[in-house]
Amino acid sequence: MSKMPLFFIIVVAIIAIAASFRFVQQRREKVDNDAAPLAQKRVVVSNKREKPLNERRSRQQQVTPAGSAMRYEASFKPEQGGLEMTFRLDAKQYHQLTVGEKGVLSYKGSRFEGFRPE
């Protein structure tokens, strides 16, 4: 009997530590992005992906399907060569892009700021 409460306390502590670590990590990324200079590159839109956000557990999915919340991502490849960059976008920005389109990408750190087609 005494082992069950100890086990429960350990599990709760691990969850709390993991959640606080993730929160600190997200705050640090936001601060880094805010402090980063605005960078611009000539790029080509190389890929677009949209996928439904899965906010439910598998059993809930079987009873009622997931809603229409989507996650949008686009990948950009520099014209002069280099590593492909992938950013999360909102729906409006995502739908304005076309794969193969050339233009100027603006970003701060890992945050997408805009894309101006040529």
Phi-psi region of 82 (alpha: psi -120 to 50; beta: other; left: phi over 0): left
pTM for the model stands at 0.71
> Residue range 29-36: average pLDDT?
89
- Quote the pLDDT of residue 60: 54
C-alpha–C-alpha distance, residues 112 and 118, integer Å: 18
Structure token pair of residue 28: 């640090």
| Residue 6 or residue 55, greater confidence | 6
Determine the average pLDDT of the residues in 42-71: 73
Average pLDDT over residues 68-88: 90
